[in-house]
A and B are shown apart, each in its own frame.
Chain A
Amino acid sequence: MSSDKPWLVVLKRSAVILSMVIAFFPIFWLVSTSLKPFDEWANWPPIWITDRPTLQNYRIVFFPEAAREFAAAQEGSLDYKVSGSAWKSFQDSAIISTLATFFSVVFGTLAAYSVVRFRTGGENYPFQFLTVRMFPPIAVVVPMVAMFSVLKLSDTYFGLILAYTAFTLPFSIWMIRSFIEDVPAELEGAAMIHGMGQFKAFLTVTLPLIRGGVLSTALFIFILNWSEFLFALVLTSGDVVTITIQVANYVSASSGKLYGVQAAMGSVSTLPVILFGYIIQRHLVRGLTFGAIKR
């Protein structure tokens, strides 16, 4: 293929550059809008890169005083209600995502170990967990609302943690299962010959070997939890606010006229996920195909 004609090489390189431009453009627009002062948000023609960059939008997102000040200054032109600081949503998302990730990975590791080394439940058993992921969540949302209202779980951390743990378990079980499968059982057998219990052999021999894999799984599941929207939308009503809810609130606040603020919130809320995503880039394919495709 190195015998390509020069024009073909140029064409190929241009295609690559074009795809990169398309990949970056919406994000560029989000960040660029987040730096625009109020009077440039809805300009026509739109301003691509502002001459007067400001951090005001970020201040409005995080500091209620700034938001109140802004709302007072725009009295009449915007029906913007101060909905409290976005800190609360970051805090709630961090708590829920971290705990749900913890439970999902611990439960998932135990189950994966049992499935790989004991063949628990037979060959088809792990598929039962996969069907959870195939469920459209919306189909179980109505009965979950009914169930949660009886159990007093609506609008609580525990409710969302329970939902997130269950719906990420298929990923953690299947991903960690594929990592455990990569470690030969003989290693554990060797430790057991030296008198170690089987589970202890797993903990001291196999687990350290798949540490990186388990960590990647955890980051992957954290990303899923952090990004989740539907359950948060339906199972909360104001006490618990995740970042996705906060973003949606800004979008719908005054029929989408808060471009700068909603762009600022969007840019900040997606940052941790981008960071984690690139850390585990190597394992993304494995994760999103439930371990079916390895690298």
Chain B
Amino acid sequence: MAQESLDATAMKQAAPPRRRGLPFNVALVLPAQLTVLAVVLCPTLIVLWLSITDWQPTSGVTWYQAEPVWHWNFYDLYFDDRFIGALLRTILVVCVCVALELAIAIGLALLFLEEWPWRKLAVSAVILPMMIVPVDAANAFFMLFNERGPINHIISLVIGEAFEFSWLADPDWALLPIMLAEIWQWTPLMFLLVLTGLMNLPENQIRAAIVLGASPARIFFRVMLPLMAPVIAIALLVRSIETFKIFDPVYILTRGGPGAATETISMFMYNGAFVYFRMGYIAAAGLLVLIVVISICLALSKPLKRHHG
């Protein structure tokens, strides 16, 4: 307390006489704020306009002169199976990937918790996937799941007969390589988060539980997991938000195909805007997605806030 007031007087003494114009601290945030406004606020305003038009750049009309169609884009979206399908598929991908990432990460982190020789090096080795450029990771999975790739080779060796299945061309299976690529790349991040959380746990409580004779499983579920809750909440939040945007592996592996079988929301919007050039329609879809994401984030940002405070 005393230090704080000393600090406050020091600041008061040293504060330069207020000049005309902006206070100094506001001027400091200005460059960051203006950049964000230019790249986020302006487009958001433009989205509001585009979403009520039927702008298609191929028609030769510039976007600000496009004819408004008012609510019809939203009406169409509501009945667009491809849009709803992409939305549901994205939610499925988020749930499957994030859940598996967390499960594997907790398992791995427990293996790495105790001291053993070469542990540090092993951690560095296991987190290699998250260091890779996502497009290159997708590129690698593109080759792995090729009909003449090593995955089919391994399956052939196991079942003992030739297996040349083209994963990426099959509507029922093409989503699997995409999700595996995502899980492969981002489980290491989840692992690092969980490991950090586990290492920061107060040892006394765990030791007390051991002394009291609790079984390892019981210690894990009744002592460690509850203490880990804030870390796990942050990990889930960060990964869910990022996975919801999934684009790179989808674009590289299938471009949403075959048909629309692997279209996630980002891929749906890319195809709509830059393959079919229905900019107005996609702007409306983007607006809906923005509203959904922002409201989810507002609801979920509480754990992050609490942890910081």
Which of A's residues lie within 8 Å of B, judged by CB?
1-2, 12, 15-16, 19-20, 22-27, 29-30, 33, 42-46, 48, 103, 106-108, 110-111, 113-115, 117-118, 120-121, 127, 129-147, 149-150, 162-163, 165-167, 169, 173, 185-186, 189-190, 192-193, 195-199, 201, 226-227, 229-230, 233-234, 243-244, 247-248, 251, 256, 259, 262-263, 266-267, 269-270, 273-274, 277-278, 281, 284-285, 288-293, 295
Contacts and interface: CB of A to CB of B under 8 A. Distances in A.
B50 A113 contact: no
7 contacts: A42-B146, A136-B244, A136-B245, A136-B289, A162-B35, A192-B14, A247-B139
Interface string B178-209: 00000010001100110011000000000000
B132 A273 contact: yes
A140 B140 contact: no
A44 B133 CA distance: 28
B215 interface: no
A169 B35 contact: yes
B103 interface: no
Q: Which 10 A-B pairs have the closest CB atoms?
A: A166-B39, A277-B131, A143-B46, A118-B25, A139-B286, A143-B43, A114-B28, A192-B14, A26-B140, A189-B10
A147 B43 contact: yes
A263 B107 CA distance: 32
Contacts of A259: 143, 146
Contact of A121 (B29, B197, B304): B29
Interface of B: 3, 6-7, 10-11, 13-16, 24-26, 28-29, 31-33, 35-36, 38-40, 42-47, 50, 55, 62-64, 107-108, 111-112, 114, 122, 124-137, 139-144, 146, 148-150, 153, 156, 164, 184, 188-189, 192-193, 196-197, 216, 231, 234-235, 238, 241, 244-245, 247-248, 251-252, 265-266, 269-270, 273-274, 279, 282-283, 286-287, 289-290, 293-294, 297, 301, 304-305, 307-308
Contacts of A106: 31
Contacts of B197: 293
A15 B140 CA distance: 23
A30 B140 CA distance: 6
A228 to B, nearest CB: 9
Contacts of A243: 133
Listed residue (B35, B43, B136, B274) with the most chain A CB atoms within 10 angstroms of its CB = B136
A269 B294 contact: no
Contacts of A251: 139, 142, 252
Contacts of A107: 31-32, 35
A130 B301 contact: yes
Given A140-B44, A281-B124, A110 B293 contact: no
Contacts of A26: 129, 137, 140-141, 144, 184
B114 A142 contact: no
A89 B279 CA distance: 28
Contacts of A292: 234, 304, 307-308
Listed residue (B15, B108, B111, B164) with the most chain A CB atoms within 10 angstroms of its CB = B111
B134 to A, nearest CB: 6
Contacts of B301: 127, 130
Contact of A146 (B36, B63, B131): B63
Given A136-B244, A166-B35, A244 B135 contact: yes
Given A130-B301, A192-B11, A226-B133, A144 B39 contact: yes
B81 to A, nearest CB: 20
